[in-house]
């Protein structure tokens, strides 16, 4: 009769074998799905500016295993919930037969760089209705793959600064969704300002913010922002007017679906802590 120690020992061996088999299965499943997908995006969560153009980035491996360029490239852009395609490329030309009417003359690829692995989509005159989940699918002689890009839509513009009646006034003509405005001095202290918003029928907001209590020659920071984008402007009042500079910061989406490799990592960690 086996002792308790032997029973525990062989039970542990069986458990280790089962877990190892499960890990191998998960790894095989993950990499079998991930390997053929040679398609990716440098920016899966772009923010488009209303009425401007935006590029939805999509890259693929342009080389076969022998180092030569791929052939038989077919690229399809689709949008979740849309009838027809956003854009389709095959046989070295765009295919408009199944293109959704909303994207005719607004969507195109960059033909000169497709052979270099660039399947990015240029979308002109971005509208709020363009927001959503897009899929870039690429098929070529070295395999096929796809990547999702979530386009978010906003309106944003740099403010202009003037100094009427000893105030520092910032006016930004195009913002959507409605933003908030903050002012700080060079030490990072919040400053009180009078801010107003005027919306047009399309919901685009004009922002006006006036600062009265500030030190001349101090570097003042005006931040206008919403959940998608913010403009950060540094302004200094001089004898000749206002010297200013502005840059934009775009939000990154935190809630991203797990890719297969990340899923494997979580499973391995779970097993480590529970076994």
The Cα angle at residue 19 between residues 9 and 38, in degrees rounded to 5: 155
pLDDT at position 27: 53
* Residue 26 pLDDT level (bands cut at 50, 70, 90): low
Query: Which segment of 30-39, 154-163, 217-226 scores lowest on mean pLDDT?
Result: 30-39
CATH topology of domain 39-153: Immunoglobulin-like (2.60.40)
The tokens of 140 are what? Answer: 């070529």
The tokens of 203 are what? Answer: 């919901």
The tokens of 257 are what? Answer: 């679906």
What mean pLDDT is reported for the chain?
86
Distance CA(122)–CA(107), nearest Å, equals 6
Residue with tokens 């300002």: 193
Between 157 and 8, name the one with better pLDDT. 157
Query: Which segment of 21-30, 79-88, 132-141 scores lowest on mean pLDDT?
Result: 21-30
Inter-residue contact 4 to 231 (CB < 8 Å): no
pLDDT at position 194: 97
Q: CATH 2.60.40.10 residue ranges in the chain? A: 39-153, 159-250
Please tell me the class of the 159-250 domain. mainly beta
- pLDDT tens digit sequence for 236-270: 998 888 999 999 999 987 444 444 443 443 333 33
Distance CA(172)–CA(160), nearest Å, equals 6
Q: Measured between alpha carbons, how far is residue 73 from residues 76, 94, 106, 108, 152 in Å?
A: 10, 12, 22, 16, 28
- pLDDT tens digit sequence for 41-69: 999 999 999 999 999 999 999 999 898 99
- pLDDT tens digit sequence for 90-146: 998 999 899 999 999 999 999 999 999 999 999 999 999 999 999 999 999 999 999
Inter-residue contact 154 to 46 (CB < 8 Å): no
End-to-end CA distance of the chain: 27
Please state the pTM of the whole predicted model.
Answer: 0.76
H helix or E strand, kind and range, residue 24: helix 4-34
Inter-residue contact 87 to 107 (CB < 8 Å): yes
Q: Measured between alpha carbons, how far is residue 253 from residues 54, 113, 116, 224 in Å?
A: 18, 28, 28, 19
């Amino acid at each position: 009769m086996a002792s308790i120690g032997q029973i525990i020992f062989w039970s542990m061996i069986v458990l280790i074998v089962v877990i190892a088999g499960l890990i191998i299965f998960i790894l095989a499943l993950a990499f079998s799905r991930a390997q053929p997908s040679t398609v990716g995006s440098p920016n899966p969560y772009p923010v488009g500016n209303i009425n401007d153009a935006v590029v939805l980035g999509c890259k693929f491996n342009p080389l076969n295993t022998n180092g030569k360029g791929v052939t038989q490239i077919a690229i399809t852009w689709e949008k979740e919930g849309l009838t027809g395609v956003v854009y389709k490329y095959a046989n070295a030309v765009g295919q408009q037969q199944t293109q959704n009417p909303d994207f005719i003359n607004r969507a195109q690829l960059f033909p000169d760089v497709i052979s270099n692995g660039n399947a990015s989509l240029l979308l002109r005159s971005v509208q709020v209705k363009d927001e959503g989940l897009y899929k870039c699918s690429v098929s070529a002689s070295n395999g096929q793959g796809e990547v999702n890009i979530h386009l978010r839509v906003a309106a944003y513009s740099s403010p202009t600064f003037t100094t009427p009646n000893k105030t520092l006034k910032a006016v930004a003509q195009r913002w959507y969704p409605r933003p908030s405005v903050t002012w700080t001095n060079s030490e990072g202290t919040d400053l009180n300002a009078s801010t107003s918003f005027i919306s047009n029928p399309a919901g685009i907001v004009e922002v006006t913010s006036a600062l009265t209590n500030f030190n001349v020659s101090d570097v003042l920071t005006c931040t206008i922002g919403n959940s998608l984008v913010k403009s950060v402007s540094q302004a200094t009042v001089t004898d000749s007017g206002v010297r200013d500079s502005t840059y934009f910061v775009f939000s990154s989406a935190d809630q991203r679906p797990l890719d297969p490799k990340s899923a494997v990592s979580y499973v391995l960690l779970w097993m480590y802590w529970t076994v």
